[in-house]
Chains A and B, each alone.
Chain A
Amino acid sequence: MKLTINGITHQVEAEPDTPLLWVLRDELGMTGTKYGCGIAQCGACSVMVDDIVTRACVTPIESLENRRITTIEGIENDPVGKRVVAAWVKHQVPQCGYCQSGQVMAATALLKETPHPGDDEIAAAMVNLCRCGTYNAISAAIHDLAGDERTGQ
């Protein structure tokens, strides 16, 4: 089966019901996407599929042929993603960092859907968990980006 990840097409051997997360980490060695809870509750495994945030641990690859998958490894090729990473660095968001590739995915998908989200929209979209409690820093970074005129490009 063929999967297009960060603009590159990969031939993968896994069974059609295999979760995307296993294919990314085990078959393709792209370990930036993390395994957290395995049941779509924490968000550590978030990736984007056609710019929509998706939990790789509960996404069978069967449904992904001819779709555009973006992982943390390719996020800076995306202009919005690049600015999100810059804001994350500016606000020194990560502590242990484990959940942050997922947080960056959620933020990028949000800003791609709506470039200047309000507080309610941020609350509705940013539901990934962080055990270090970096929520204040995440919020500061997102609000910074939400007010940024260039975000919509």
Chain B
Amino acid sequence: MRKLLSVLLPVIVLAAAGVTWFATRVPSSPFDGVAGSQAPSPELIQRGEYIARLADCVGCHGSPDQPPFTGGLEMATPVGSIFATNITPDKETGIGNYSLADFDRAVRHDVARDGHHLYPAMPYPSYAKLSDDDVRALYAYFMHGVKPARHANKASDIPWPLSIRWPLAFWSALFMDHGSHHEQPSENAVWNRGAYLVQGPGHCGACHTPRGLAFNERALDDSNPLFLSGALLDGWYAPSLRGDPNRGLGRWSEDELHQFLKTGRNRHAVVFGSMTDAFNNSTQFMTDEDLRAIAHYLKSLPGDPRRDGPAWHYDPKSNDTLALNARLKTPGAQTFLAKCSFCHGADGRGQGQWFPPLAGAASLMARENASSINVTLNGSKRVVADGIPDAYRMPPFREQLSDRQIADVLSFARSSWGNNGEPVKPEEVKHLRESTDPANSSVIILHMR
């Protein structure tokens, strides 16, 4: 026994020391010992501002009633809420004391300046792919282009011992793809630029890629067919961005995709749900060149016919159920006619780019029906394109329609005009009605924005 102990003890001690070293070590940065420029050029700062747009830093680190980048957004983790922090260059409450290397470690790794690990609510698994040049430009912008603002960070409400952060080191070791983005030599420059934007700063996968048990994105690049194959997050279903014709972008052209990301709308869809934030803060500010690259890259990702089924075709037969003498007989048909058809068209085909069609809409064919229920209950937020708010918006029906009426009208829309979505149950509407009611104690707290 003593002999066994004398062998085991050193092993245990060594292992514990190894774990401690691993969990508390500060990852290296290519910028270690490199001073950020004291007087960066206006071009570098401007470039950094553009990258902050690409990466939508303000989406989480800003709130409407405060100076930009002072943080405050509440975000969920499995053990409680944390709050996005002040990333203005204020020395006391912000990141004014961050060196370029510290900044790099927070953005591309998961470690703040004082050594604590960050929750992946901050999308560093994607930002890990940012190029050195882009990190340098971002840093120049945050230090010299953003006004310092005093605004104390809100402490998280996670109780000890769950608040201990070193286990996050193992999370990122397991689930991150450390190392920067690699060019695919077999693809052209436009494709490679698109891949970089989507996987890196754009962090599209944070919402559009399915997550595993540890809340990890199940794929971080196109080598895995699950990448951008659609995911449910925070009560919204972000559909596939792959070539799937029903629940993805199979029927969209590159130009239409470009138009959607630039103006928030095209003849297939209009942004809503959490995509509104991504559009309002980020995609509309991308240059046409970058948007074309994103569109080109996304259109190269193949769909999966086993997942997506036979391609959708418009079926006019279902309009018979809407006839004057028939619509009271089909549940949901009368509600559709009275409440929805004037905007979405009595034939379900929408009105140009102003009202999206319900015929062939991804949200109505996706197995996850959350987006269709959520948007019907709560409507959508203002889409602000080029500083101009939209003229038309999806209204909230929370006060007007019962769980049963919403279930019926959505079941009707999900099975009409060739749509092949499963019916919606009133219990599902009830559940989302409660978890999206701001007055409710169990309201959804965002994981991602």
Contact = CB atoms under 8 A, between A and B. Distances in A.
Interface of A: 17-19, 39-41, 54-55, 58-60, 62-63, 110, 113-114, 117-118, 120-121, 123-125, 127
Contacts of A123: 328
A120 B328 contact: yes
Contacts of A54: 342
Given A118-B325, A121-B324, A124-B324, A39 B395 contact: yes
14 contacts: A17-B391, A17-B392, A18-B391, A19-B392, A39-B393, A58-B343, A58-B392, A59-B351, A60-B392, A63-B352, A120-B328, A123-B328, A124-B327, A127-B338
A58 B390 CA distance: 12
A interface secondary structure, majority: mixed
Contacts of A62: 352, 354
B interface secondary structure, majority: loop
A40 B342 contact: yes
B339 interface: yes
A124 B351 contact: no
What's the interface size class on B, roughly?
10 to 19
A3 to B, nearest CB: 16
Contact of B354 (A39, A60, A127): A60
A130 to B, nearest CB: 14
A41 B339 contact: yes
Interface string B321-332: 000110110000
Interface string B281-322: 000000000000000000000000000000000000000000
B374 interface: no
A63 B325 contact: no
B70 interface: no
A6 to B, nearest CB: 21
A129 to B, nearest CB: 10
B355 A58 contact: yes
B86 interface: no
Given A125-B324, A127-B338, A41 B354 contact: no
A123 B106 CA distance: 62
Contacts of A41: 339, 395, 400
Given A17-B391, A41-B400, A58-B392, A121 B342 contact: no
A117 B352 CA distance: 32
Contacts of A127: 337-338
Contacts of A59: 342, 351
B68 to A, nearest CB: 30
B411 interface: no
A124 B352 contact: no
Contacts of B337: 124, 127
Nearest to B333: A124
Contacts of A18: 391
In this complex, which of B342, B352, B392 has the most chain A Cβ atoms within 10 angstroms of its Cβ?
B342
Contacts of A114: 324-325
Contacts of A17: 354, 391-392
A120 B324 CA distance: 8
Contact of B325 (A40, A58, A121): A121
Given A120-B325, A124-B324, A60 B352 contact: yes
A114 B328 CA distance: 16
Given A55-B342, A58-B351, A63-B352, 18 more contacts: A18-B391, A19-B391, A19-B392, A40-B339, A41-B339, A54-B342, A58-B343, A58-B355, A58-B392, A63-B351, A118-B325, A120-B328, A121-B324, A123-B328, A124-B327, A124-B337, A125-B324, A127-B338
